[in-house]
Structure 1
Amino acid sequence: MNKILRMLAVVILVAVGVTVWDGFFILPEGRQAVITQFGAPVGEPVREAGLKFKTPFIQVVQYFDKRVLIWDGDPNQIPTNDKTFVYMDNTARWRIADPLRFLQAVGTEQRANSLLNDIIAGTVRDLVNKNDLIEIIRSSDWSPEFMAATVQSRDMIVPPKVGRDKISGMVLAEASKVTPQYGIELLDVMLKRVNYIESVRLRVYDRMISERKRIAAEKRSTGEGRKAEILGRVDRELQEITSSARREATEIRGQADAEAAKIYAQAYSGHGEFYAFLKSLESYRQILSQNTSLVLNTDSDLLKYLERQHLSK
């Protein structure tokens, strides 16, 4: 009897140990779980973290992430509506909103990424095909006034009708119609990078170089015109200043000559003999030198003061 009781106690302890070892599980923070029994889901998904119980050995716990996950697609070559081929590199944020449906429809995060690649890449391709390149590379708040400081020619500024951010919103809206059936909630989609393919990129670079050369030539032409205008204005102002200075000099010289003539007239009228004597001395200074020989008539006015000087001696 005691042996039977000991055997029964051992069986009970083993059962309790097995139950504790495989019957309880801990659900960490940021995780959610679905309990399956023979491959079929049992009950509601477990979302709250903590110590949980399941039937040992019969039931299995499938864990899924509850946090926001990142999908990063491969760059794809896509033609725009205006027949320009571009590489589109997209990214998105998503999370498992319904783990039970996710388990039944998808199963793993790797398959979910592959599924999102088909859904999002296809939606992006459709919308890029329907829009011109300008709508893909410029945001909806882009305007001539906003970008005037960075664009050389305002004639080149063409505001977009939709814009990159609104196209991203349209991709999110279209893709979000499909993902709920897989237990996935799509939070946002972004066009991470847009780039030309190699052949188009070379043509764009050539066009950019030509445009910069055109702008440079326009600036040089404007500078030359401005230079000619400044030089013309400087030359005109110089001629005006020179003419004004000459006129003023002529006026001053005329006034001085008039004043001198007036003084001479006053001196001549008051002291005629002395004035005649001074003028004769000035004439002597201009005519006579050490090697000068003069032949004068006896009644010459120039000889008059010389005779007086000779007679006085």
Structure 2
Amino acid sequence: MNTRRWIPVAVGVALILIAPLMRSVCYVVTERELAVLLQFGQPVASRTEPGLYFKLPFIQEVLRLPKTLQVWHGTHESEKLVDVPTADGKKVEVTVWAVWRISDPVQFVRTLRTVPNAESRVKEFVRSMARDTITTNNLAEIVRSTNRKMTYTLGLPPEMVAAATAAATGPAGDAKSASSLDQAIPDFVVPPEAREPIHLGRTKIMDAIRLDAQHGLAQDGKNDAQIQGRGRGIELVDVGLSRIEFVPQVREAAFDRAVSLMEAIAAKTIAEGQQRKQEILNRTQAEVQKIEGEGKQEANILKGKADADIIDAYAKAIRETGEFYTFVRTLEAYKEALKGDTRLILTTDSSLLRMIKSLDPPGPRPTPGPTADAPSRTAASLSAGK
């Protein structure tokens, strides 16, 4: 009875003691790993497939390596290719990238040992081959892949290209030579690199860089007779250029040229706008003056007709009521002339007293005083208001 109680305890103790031993004997390789079996620090076997494997405890150890593709991107300032001259004398800065993987784990451990060392070798070969290849080709070959027709750049309107093309054509529309046309089109409309014929192109140049770097990496990593002819155990999958730009001095000069061009375009646009504005104002002013002149002419015609109608009405009224009108006007004249304290001395033949003289006397009355010839010698003395 007591023996049965101790059996599970013994099994548990045995498992606890065997577990560390099993970990030192067994190991697992996943789908994303490569394993190299090291014996006294030297690689003796590799495991490239996932599964459970065994090793000698305390003598052998497992070095795990990545099975996935490794990407190196030279975005760091120290990894960029600076001041790289092209075959046509242009200096550029180039950012290179590369994709590689471990193809032979044992040879990889013998020659490179670690992934950072492998990445350093890939960077070294790729940068070197890229520099050598770029210096032997023109800038147009590096940035372009086909001879397709390039359009305008910098967001310039198509009419600028049309204007530049028209400047290179004759008055009859006959095109000039190709060199004259190229000189007429501004560099910022169609860059000179866009006019050069492409013989290789960027794709073929990248393939050449990749092949040269692959060949260099495939050479013997060490002068050991046991590993000669096996390379470094890595494979370069692909290379490319993520960025190509001019050196800072050239960029600043190009930017200044772009600013000058934009300012010239702006000045031309403003001048055309001002001219168009003045034309509109002149046309509007002419229309306003024309409308005002026609209005004044029509107003004068209407006013003349109204004055004529008024004069005609006055004349008609005068013809119909001439004597009464003259009588009223004469009374108004008397009222204005004989008011206040003004004293007038008039003769009997004065025109102002014509109406009074034409009135019939109210009746005979005695005339004391003077003789019959007195009227011819007597002056009429009238006092205003009496």
- TM bin, normalised by shorter chain, reads 0.5 to 0.7
Structure 1 SS opposite 2:156:
coil
Displacement, 1:226? 2.3
Structure 2 SS opposite 1:67:
coil
- Counterpart of 1:183 in structure 2 is 234
State the distance in 1 between where 2:27 and 2:236 align. Answer: 27
Larger Rg: 2
- CA deviation digits over 1:212-268, x for unaligned, max 9? 332232233223212322321232122112212211212211221232233234323
Displacement, 1:32? 1.0
- Counterpart of 2:259 in structure 1 is 209
- Counterpart of 2:117 in structure 1 is 111
Are 1:52 and 2:53 matched, yes or no? yes
Residue identity (%): 29
- Counterpart of 1:173 in structure 2 is 207
- Counterpart of 1:157 in structure 2 is 189
State the distance in 1 between where 2:61 and 2:122 align. Answer: 27
State the distance in 2 between where 1:280 and 1:42 align. Answer: 151
What TM-score do the two structures reach when normalised by structure 1? 0.66
Distance 1:269 1:18, change over 3 A: closer
Distance 1:28 1:282, change over 3 A: farther
- Counterpart of 2:100 in structure 1 is 94
Structure 1 gaps, min length 5:
1-15
Q: Could you tell me whether the CA contact under 8 Å between 2:94 and 2:241 is conserved in 1? A: no
State the distance in 2 between where 1:285 and 1:112 align. Answer: 132
In the TM superposition, what are the counterparts of 1:278-297 in structure 2 within 5 Å? none
- CA deviation digits over 1:67-120, x for unaligned, max 9? 332213311121235422122223334333454564566543233223322343
- Counterpart of 1:132 in structure 2 is 139
- Counterpart of 1:11 in structure 2 is none
What TM-score do the two structures reach when normalised by structure 2? 0.56
Q: CA RMSD in A?
A: 5.0
Displacement, 1:47? 3.0
Structure 2 gaps, min length 5:
1-17, 162-187, 219-232, 360-385
| Deviating more after overlay: 77-86 vs 16-25 | 16-25
Distance 1:124 1:66, change over 3 A: same
- Counterpart of 1:67 in structure 2 is 68
Q: Could you tell me whether the CA contact under 8 Å between 2:87 and 2:138 is conserved in 1? A: yes
Are 1:121 and 2:117 matched, yes or no? no
For residue 233 of structure 1, the aligned residue among 283, 291, 304 is: 283
State the distance in 2 between where 1:299 and 1:85 align. Answer: 122
